[in-house]
Amino acid sequence: MFDLTGKVAVVTGASSGLGRDAAIAYAEAGADVVLLARRLERLEEVATEIKEMGRDVLPIKMDVTDEENVKEGIQKAFDHFGHLDILLNNAGIAVGGGVHQLSVEDFDKSMDVNVKGIFLVSKYVVPHMMDNKYGRIVNVASVNAIMADKADVFIRHSYNASKSAVLGLTLGMAASYGKYNITVNAIGPGLFESEMTEDTLFKSEDFLNLYNGTNPMCRPGKQGELNGTILYFSSDGSSYTTGQFIVVDGGGTIV
């Protein structure tokens, strides 16, 4: 049910963190993988690991906010594999600050990467899925799509707004593309260590104490703990599940 042999998975933000972990998990489940990110040298490192598993892998340098770049990259991926079955829209950024602190440029950057990026990559992947009458799309939102925090270290209003928009986009896509056997779901990670968090949140002892003190599992997420949910939404195990949002946060949103 969760075997992805014969499938091709497209992963944005695949050069590090959760995206890299997911790309490796897809390969372990039998899929060939398209790696997308701005840092080609980092993608090639991930590609080497996947090749050693005996999977086909294609690293492509891509800025998900650049439509022409996205269009060309997705066409290159389709030309190489002949079909695109799974899309993990993982690329994202987190800009700190409240509305009284954020510049317009910072707000626009959050929306461009976190929302426009999903729109653009999906825009050029979905037609191939429609033609094939098959697709699994997983959009990475955040627990911050449905909750916020009053602690100064965690104020990220543009991030809240962008990740909430990801949920709206997920619902619209799911409703429209279900008739093509394309499911569209979202996941909401809680706190995981990544390049986005290791130099900010993970360096704040006060924040970690607060997070661990209120989280039912008393800790942040560990490497790989998001992969099970990603693989569920990416496989035939979720063939009748679409438009849904699963939070992976150690229970943080329930208290």
Active site residues: 159
Q: Which two tokens stand for residue 168?
A: 């709206």
Residues 170, 163: Cα–Cα separation, whole Å: 11
- Do residues 199 and 153 touch, judged by C-beta distance below 8 A? no
Amino acid type, 190: G
Spatial distance between the Cα atoms of 176 and 55, rounded to a whole number of angstroms: 32
Q: Which helix (H) or strand (E) holds 216?
A: none
Half-sphere exposure of 92 (CA within 13 A, CB side): 28
**Nearest to 219, CA basis, from 186, 191, 194, 177:** 191
Instruction: List the structure tokens of 229.
Output: 């949910």
The span from the CA of 17 to the CA of 25, in Å, is 12
Q: Which string of DSSP letters, residue by residue, matches 44-113?
A: HHHHHHHHTTT--EEEEE--TT-HHHHHHHHHHHHHHHS---EEEE-------B-TTT--HHHHHHHHII
Residues 6+ apart with CB under 8 A from 131: none
What is the number of other CB atoms lying within 10 angstroms of the CB of residue 135? 23
Spatial distance between the Cα atoms of 119 and 124, rounded to a whole number of angstroms: 9
- The residue behind tokens 């619902």 is 171
